[in-house]
Every structure is written in C-alpha cells, then in structure tokens.
Chains A and B, each alone.
Chain A
Amino acid sequence: MSKTMEPDLHEPSAGIPRPSAQKEWKHPSDHWMRGFILDNRAALGTLAVFIVMMAVFMIANPTVFTTWYLYRSVLTTLPVALFVVVPLVFVVTCGEIDLSFPATMGFASWVFALVVQAGYDPFLGIAAALVTGMLLGFLVGSLVVYGGLSSLIATLGMNFLLRGLIQIINEGKSMALTSLSDSWAYTIFSSQLLGIPVQIFWAIGFVVLSAMLYNRHRFGAQVRVVGDNPDSAQQMGIDVKRVRVKVFVFVGIGAAIAGTFSVMINFTWWPTAGDGYLLPVLASVFVGGTPTWGGIGTVVGGAIGAVTVSFIQTGVVAAGLSGFYVQFFNGLIIILSLLGHKWNQARYR
C-alpha cells in the first residue's frame, strides 16, 4: 500500500501501479442482474404486485381488459397523479410529509383558469400556475421548517386553509374554459398521439427526470442524507433547512403541473380541483415501496404504485364487481404491498 498522499483528484493508478488493488473492489454479487435486482428490489416488488393484480383482473374479465378504451381512460387521468406522487417520494424520503398538495393543485390551477379566462395565452397561464405552485410550496415549506412545526399537522392545516380561501372567493362556482380546445397548449399537453393520450408522455418524462434527480443528482443525494440523519448532514455542512424547503417547493411545482393538466382534460376548473387526489396519491407513494421512516425511497416504485392504485378502481368495476368493492380492494392492495415491502427491505440503524 502506498503511504504517499494525493491531495488532489489524481487517479489512483497515476502513482504506483497496483494491478491487484482494483480487483478487490468487485461487487459481491458477481452477475450484473443480481446487483440490479438488489438495488431496485422495492420498485421490482411493486411491479410484481401490479402484474399479479392485472393478471387477476384479466382472468376475471378477459374481454374488457383487452380493449384499448380501458387503458386510454387510465392513461388520461394517471399522469395527474404521477406529477404529485413523484415529488412526494422526495418529501417522504426527506423525513417529512405534505398533505397540502390537493389545495396547491386547486390553487395553481385556479390561477391558470383565471389567466385563460381573461383571454391570455394558456402558456402564460401555465407559467403563472407554476410560479403559484412554487410560491405555495415555499410558503408551506418555510412554515414547517423555519416555524419548526410538525409537517403532518401544518400541511394538513395549510390544505384546509388554502382550500377554504378558494371556496370563500369563488363561492363554489366553477369556471368553464372552452377556449382551451383550440389552443396550442391543448394540442401539446392534452391531445392524443396515435390514439395514446399525450399526457402520459409528459408524465413519463417527468418520472424519468425525477428519478435521475433522485438517484444521480446532488439534490437527491442531499435529500436522502437529510432524511437518513439530519444531524450528520448538518455536521457535514449541508444546509438541512434549505434542502427541506426545496422538497416542499418541488411538491408545489408538481401539484401546479398536475392541477393544470386536470383542468385541461375537463376544460373546466372546479373549486374542489385536486381534492380527490389526497389519499390515492399518498397510498401510491407507500405502495410504491418508499418507507415512512425517511432516508430511502424509490421514484420509479412510486410511479408503479400510482399505476397500480389507478387501475384498482377501473379494474374492479371492469372485472364485473360492483363499485362497492373498490374501497375493499384499495385497502387490500395497500396492506399486501406494505407487508411485501416489510419483508423485502431491511431497515439499517
């Protein structure tokens, strides 16, 4: 072993050649596939749950599950959920929770609707919605982080507060945005491409980008470290509070995109926009394999979780069962997934 120090970033081989040294550091799992499975076990577990569930549905009603219409309807609404599930994986990894995203969706899409109704270009509306989402995320995050509040309670409060504001000002009235249908923004963000709803392509892009941000970017690395051990992160010079605020801002951005997409699907903004997403989105994060204790998580798993959750409702009804079964199957899938993940991933302390 060389005792000379290399104070800068030279390659280890630049000094004395050490042919055997490199070999010592082989991954214990020799085959690349074993390593891949070990590194992505949570996401793969979620995928397995999804495949089994779909197989059951297909056996129950083969004719409905081979028609494209069913998938098209899921692919239209699923992206809305994906835009919030993915940022929530960051929040949960960071050791926090955000329950205010439904109101942020409603608020940001309200701003979008106002801009469009006033006759401006929808692109300007999207930009305004994004800024609104960022500001609300910053507000919620600052309240939690700098106010030193519990994120569970504070974000729940903010959800009520913001929704209440929307309700007070609009007095329950919705906004019809018929002018959207022949705008460029609609063609780009909400039309169909070869029979496939174009939203899903944007959502997939968002998921891929976020997964890279999570696994391969300084932001993701710091989010994981802060969620794992905030004291250590601070001792190592990470601005823990800033990282925490950033994840809330990210949720705000995701919620703004989600809200805008949902308005563009329906050409209408309702004062309740986003409300129905609270529980399915939260369930998706945990079904996806992100544990509640922080430090680790999976963006791709969360996305598969969202796909699973959005197929439950469609699937149960399409399989010929009555709508009364939906809640039961929702619960069943959540519990089974949690048990699976518990067995699948050890918690290190």
Chain B
Amino acid sequence: MAERLIELRDISKSYGQVYALGGVNLSVDRGEVVGLLGDNGAGKSTLIKILSGVVKPTSGEILVRGKPVTGWSAARSREAGIETVFQDRALAVQQTIVRNIFMGRELTGFLGFLRVNKEIEEASRLMREIGFTSKVFTPQSIVGQLSGGERQGVAIARAIYKQAELIVLDEPTTALSLTETAKVFHFVRQVRASGRSILFIGHNIHHVFDIADRFVVLDRGKVALTTDRSEVKSAEDLINFMEEVAHPGGLAGLHDAGDAEQRAR
C-alpha cells in the first residue's frame, strides 16, 4: 500500500447548534486521486476548509504522513504540502498573475525584498507546465483581465508550485462554460500526470468518475460510502447510490427523472 499522505480522523464541526460534520474520516494516499462527492450542504466545503486549515474543527485529529499535527492553520497546511484550489479561486484580481502565484510565499532575498525576476521565471515555468500559455497574457498581466477558465488556471498553477504533494480542487468547474471546463480538466490531467495526489470535489459525477481512483460520498455531515473505482461499474451506479442515500426508499418518480437527466448530459 502506498504511503498515507494525510488522514482526517473523526472530524466534527458545528456552528452553534448546527452540525456541519459529525465524525468524518478521510484519507488520501500518495499518488491517489480521490473524488469527494455529495449533495449541496453535505459538508464537502467545510471538510476542505478544515483540511486546508482555514476552518478549525470542533473535534477530531489530523495526521500528516502518519503523525498527528497540532496548531493546524492555513500556513501549516501549505507547509505540509497541501495546496487548495478554493471554489472561489482565492485570487486577488487587481494583482498580477505572479503576485497571485506567490501569494503568501513571496520569493525574497536581501532584507525581505522580492526576487522579482526569479518570480516571473518561476511563474512562466508553472504556467507552461499546466499548458496555460498565451501570446496575449504574460505573468505580469492583471488577473482581472483573464476569463474564468484562465483564472482557474492561475489558481491551479499556484497550487502545483514547489513540493505540493496533495492538490485539493474544490468544484473547479463551477460557473464555467463547456470550453473553459475542458481547459480546466486539461490542467487537472497535467497535474495528475505529474504523480501528485488529488482530492477532487465535484457536483458532476461524470467529471469525477473519469479521473478518480476512489470515491468518498458525504451525506449530511457523514461519510455515506467509500469505494474504489474498480468496485463501481459505472457513473450511473454511483448516482443511483447517492440518490438512494439522499431519498431512502421512496421518491421513485424523482429517481427516474433524475437518472434520465443525468444520462442525458
């Protein structure tokens, strides 16, 4: 078995009286692509925010390479080699591509002054690596001038910088057009080919099904299913399961309509 990169043990999170997560276990091995699925409000985003250190869990344990961590924060998460592409992309749109890629880990030399040329070099290397090149844009272009798909490219380029071992992609294709979605999946496949682990969160099961080795289905703050891809025959199986979880027993009519709609895509 491959090395266990990260493990979340019995993670709970409550906002006042409301439970967002109730004892979730999730692990990602080295080189593994995990698809995290679940309906709206299942707790996917909360789990991701805990993993990336933005939100503190109410209880539970986080282990990096088998060792429990303390004082988990966004900075610590990045140090541990976890890079998150957030749903809102977390870009500063009035800044250049370079400033966004090096946000929070500026390359500095003498007395904290920026190594500007080195940063530009590194930024263009990263953008070439994920196949995000254009004659129109340079690393010094302002992010606000880019399209949605291109902005996602900047967020992914930032995530693959340096020794990142686990890339977390939180719904990277939300609100993107078909061609832009294709562009993002092109970026994702480049990341995958590099041997990094990926935790992919998505609504569209067909997208996740194509690239994941393992699926984890969340439902109302709990893990409803963990399965290897080899155990699932088709994306439809997974969809059926998720609907079974969401509407146990009845609502047969809704099932059929939902299935037909999903297949039509």
Contacts and interface: CB of A to CB of B under 8 A. Distances in A.
B234 interface: no
A320 interface: no
A238 B144 CA distance: 21
A31 interface: no
B100 to A, nearest CB: 8
Among A225, A233, A234, A295: residue with most chain B CB under 10 A: A225
Interface in B107-121: 108, 112-114, 116, 118, 121
B52 interface: yes
A219 interface: yes
B143 interface: yes
B163 A234 contact: no
A225 B95 contact: yes
B194 A5 contact: yes
A225 B75 contact: no
> A interface, how many residues as a size bin?
35 or more
B74 interface: yes
Tell me if A's interface is mostly helix, strand, loop or mixed.
loop
Interface in A205-258: 212, 216-219, 221-222, 224-225, 228-229, 231-239
A216 B116 contact: yes
Interface stretch (B20-28, B129-137, B219-227): B129-137
A165 B10 CA distance: 55
Given A229-B92, A229-B93, A237 B113 contact: no
A236 to B, nearest CB: 4
Contacts of A348: 93-94, 142-145
A59 to B, nearest CB: 39
Contacts of B75: 237, 239
Contacts of A279: none
A182 interface: no
A132 B95 CA distance: 34
B86 interface: yes
Given A12-B124, A26-B138, A235 B54 contact: yes
A291 B163 CA distance: 37
B93 A228 contact: yes
A236 B195 contact: no
- 10 tightest CB-CB pairs across the interface, nearest first? A348-B144, A237-B75, A236-B104, A228-B92, A232-B90, A295-B94, A12-B125, A237-B74, A237-B104, A5-B194
Interface of B: 52-54, 73-75, 77-78, 84, 86, 88-95, 99, 102-106, 108, 112-114, 116, 118, 121-122, 124-125, 128-129, 131, 133-145, 162-163, 190, 193-196
Given A24-B135, A28-B138, A229-B92, 12 more contacts: A2-B129, A5-B129, A7-B162, A12-B121, A12-B125, A21-B128, A218-B106, A218-B112, A221-B106, A232-B103, A236-B104, A237-B78
